Amino acid sequence: MKILSIITLLSISSIMCFNKFEIIDATSKKWTGGIPQAGYGTNYDITIVPKVNSDKLVFDRIWIGEKYFGVSTFQKGKDIRNNIFSKGDTISILVTDRIARKPLPYVEKGKCLVEKHELPYKYEGEALLSYTYKGKRKYIEISKFTKLKEDFYP
């Protein structure tokens, strides 16, 4: 019985050591623009409370389904996406998956129109968030987004 208690305690403490942040909320909200050129899409909002400062922890990539998005963070209540935060701040990652009804102009990069970002592994949730902790690449799955009421813009 004593051995089981020690193993349980070690397991819990090691899990807590590896959790450098807590995902508080993950929501998705579909939207439709008021004019055809605006298109439609989905906004994703992931709210996180880090347990370390931004000099050690950097969020930079997310796959939603198989779509890749570069990300940056900003503190709740501030409009600047500067990826700077402190331990205990409430930060957000906002991603917009926009589908244009009318093609947007693009800048050709070499001969490739879209930069490829392969999935690092097949995951089971709705999204895979990538981050670095002390320079080492890590991933966390977001099992489900809470779906909010759709917005129809005038």
Q: Is residue 102 pLDDT above 80, yes or no?
A: no
pLDDT at 100: 79
Q: Give the span between the Cα atoms of 93 and 114, in whole angstroms.
A: 22
Instruction: Let me know: does 54 contact 77? Beta carbons within 8 Å.
Output: no
pLDDT band at 112 (very low <50, low <70, confident <90, very high): very low
Question: Which pLDDT does position 83 carry in this prediction?
Answer: 81
Name, in order, each residue with C-beta under 8 angstroms of 31's C-beta and a sequence gap of 6 or more.
40, 41, 42, 43, 150, 151, 152, 153
| Residue 49 confidence (pLDDT) above 90 | yes
What integer is the mean pLDDT of 1-19? 42
The helix or strand, by DSSP H or E, that contains position 40, with its residue range, turns out to be strand 40-50
Token duo for residue 19: 């959790």
Q: What is the predicted pLDDT for the residue at 18?
A: 57
What pLDDT, on a 0 to 100 scale, did the predictor assign at position 154? Answer: 80
Residue 87: is it exposed, middle or buried by C-beta count within 10 angstroms (0-12/13-18/19+)? middle
Band (67; pLDDT cuts 50, 70, 90): very high
The full set of domains in the chain, from first to last, is: 20-152 (2.60.40)
Cα separation values, 126 from 38, 67, 103, Å: 26, 11, 27
Which among 105, 104, 98 has a CA at the least distance from the CA of 40?
98
- Confidence (pTM): 0.78
For residue 46, give the nearest of 31, 33, 59, 30 by alpha carbon: 59
pLDDT band of 38, cuts 50, 70, 90: confident
Taking 90 as the threshold, does the pLDDT of residue 130 lie above it? Answer: yes
Encoded tokens for 138: 């890590």
